[in-house]
Chain A
Amino acid sequence: MRFFLRRFMFYVITFWAAVTINFLIPRLLPGDPVSALIAKNQGRISPDATEALRALFGLDQDVSLWQQYLDYWGLILHGELGISFTYFPTPVTEVIQQALPWTIGLVGIATIISFTIGTLIGTGIGWRRGTWADSLLPISTFFSSVPYFWLALIAISLFSVTLGWFPASGSYDRSLIPTWSWEFVGSVIYYGFLPAMTIVISSIAGWILGMRNMMVTVSSEDYVTVAQAKGLSERAVMFGYAARNAVLPQVSSFALSLGFIVGGTLVMEIVFSYQGIGYFLFTAVAAKDYPLMQGIFLVITLAVLFANIVADFVYGVLDPRTRQEG
């Protein structure tokens, strides 16, 4: 229990830090872009919304910083993130609500596929170290050095423009109405295949490499030798003894590298014009839509934190030591 309690405390601190960073950034950085935007939209923004924006971006100079901070927390805890300038007058929360399921669906599924396949391949390569399988390493290194979005560009030019197999942009056939029909779901899968493929290919190398190196290290441990000396089948030793222990750092690095992966995949959405969070972040940056930018950052951080909690839980299940009392 102590393990989970400690982790829980850590996530509370991280959430606090993320909100505080979000609070401080517009206040610490020079320039005052938001009041210019409010002035530009004078008369179009309701007094209530103006009030919220002023609190979110610290435009009330007469209020003390501490009071601003408290007001800010009040707004955040009520789920109030201001209104988006680009999609005026839609609240930021609504914009994010529309985009989030697409990102979670695409990035989440692709990352889990990549992690699973990568770990399995890494297990195999690490086990059969010094055979042809090692020659996969340089190839995977190459793919991990390429920025995600560039791979996406290549994938589009190859499979969409040249071969015409997959659509180059969008997330579903625009002539369909979003429902839970087979036709619509099929279209979503069809449109999502290329982006998901690109994410898998570009992120799999890290998992393969990490797992391989852990397998190599773990497989010279005594308990693996003992398991083999007992005459257990190769499979049992490989998965039950070596891989089971080698996968632990893999799970914790999954949690830690999620932020990095999410960052990379957000840009992927931009390339594919996939209507997820990343695409909206891009339009927000281009249009200098600060409330939307900040809201998206907060939501992404929350999502990553949540994924971290899940990874921690899995870790607790895999590693009995963490469940030890005392």
Chain B
Amino acid sequence: MTIDTSIVEEGEELARPSQAPETGVVSSAPRRSSREPRKFLFLRNSKAIAGMVILAFFFLIAIIGPWIAPYDPSARSDDILQPPSWEHWFGTTHLGQDVFSQILVGTRGVIVVGFVAGIVATTIGVIIGVTAGYVGGLGDETLSVIANVFLVIPQLPLIILIAGQLPTVGGVTVALVIAITGWAWGARVLRAQTLSLRRRDFVEAARASGERTWRIITAEILPNLTAIIAAGFVGTVAFAVLSLITLSFIGIGNTGEWNWGTVLYQAQSQLALQRGAWWWFVPAGLCIALLGMSLTLINFGIDEFVNPRLRSTGLNAKSLRKRGIRPRIGFTPVVYEAKEDRA
């Protein structure tokens, strides 16, 4: 991992642009990136980029997956329970179905449910959280109690309870059930942040100049919540993906609809473990992990963007020692500063 340059130049650049070091000790990375417009600061975070790239990959598969799948995922063949080979990259199932095709086709279901649930849950969360934070008083108390109740009630059993009693469960239904049960976390965080924004000077100024409440919320408060909303959205998508896969794994939902959870469900129910058919359940799990990791990385990026103290993770041990910085508590290592001191 390279040095996270975004911390350094942000203040540096404004304060004394002429002194930006030309010595090249750090490598040329900071020079190049410092010429880019500052609004892409977030995208210079290496974690965020890695996460975005993986996510984009899965998006692509979700779109083109069903077309590039070499076989029909449900089609049976005579190659029963074959380990991975050139014909079947991820091997075959007990019915001779191609696991690779199942994964490719199943990506769409996972992504669609994840994002539909994420969008719906975030919308509910924003409406409830911002209203509670802005309105205050009794309305706030009521809304926060509702949010907290939804947080404390175990979500997965609730989702299982609802989805298990529905007569037909399609992908979108599952997404909606997940959204209805999973909005509370975002609402809670947003409420806290809105509370602290509500009394800031610029909001007071807008109020004093007679802006309508609606405009204050959309034009003054919401833009300041963008990072938190984004983080909440990414977190909810990750939660929704996990929930969907868990539901499919225990056999709730439409088993005719392929997703990674259905692959695992079949692997489990057909005793893939006992038969030693590792190729049946390993790829699906790795895909889930990879997708989840990409979302977590994006969230790390957002976290570090919001909280500068966390950014020093990007400085690895070796590069710090080379600069003679002993990481200790009580100070946030700022790389340029330290380097210039030594120079």
Contact = CB atoms under 8 A, between A and B. Distances in A.
Nearest to B318: A132
Nearest to A226: B330
A213 interface: yes
Interface residues on B, range: 35 or more
A216 B293 contact: no
Contact of A31 (B145, B167, B245, B310): B167
B285 A228 contact: no
B331 to A, nearest CB: 7
B153 interface: yes
A155 to B, nearest CB: 10
Interface stretch (B158-166, B205-213, B222-230): B158-166
A267 B296 CA distance: 22
A153 interface: yes
Given A29-B166, A147-B246, A285-B250, A263 B274 contact: no
A288 B315 CA distance: 54
A13 B309 contact: no
Nearest to A286: B251
Contacts of A91: none
A220 B153 contact: no
Contact of B161 (A10, A144, A149, A297): A297
Given A144-B296, A156-B273, A290 B154 contact: no
Interface string A215-250: 011011000110010000000010000100000000
Interface in B249-276: 249-252, 264, 267-268, 273-274, 276
B2 interface: no
B85 interface: no
Contact of A17 (B153, B161, B250, B291): B153
B152 A259 contact: yes
Interface size class of A (residues with CB under 8 A): 35 or more
Contacts of A263: 154-157, 246
Nearest to A127: B329
A196 interface: no
A130 B155 contact: no
Given A228-B329, A285-B251, A147 B285 contact: yes
Interface of A: 10, 13-14, 17-18, 21-22, 25-26, 29-31, 33, 127-132, 134-135, 137, 141-142, 144-147, 149-150, 153-154, 156-157, 161-162, 168, 213, 216-217, 219-220, 224-225, 228, 237, 242, 255-256, 258-260, 262-264, 266-267, 270-271, 281-282, 285-286, 288, 290, 293-294, 296-297, 300-301, 304-305, 308
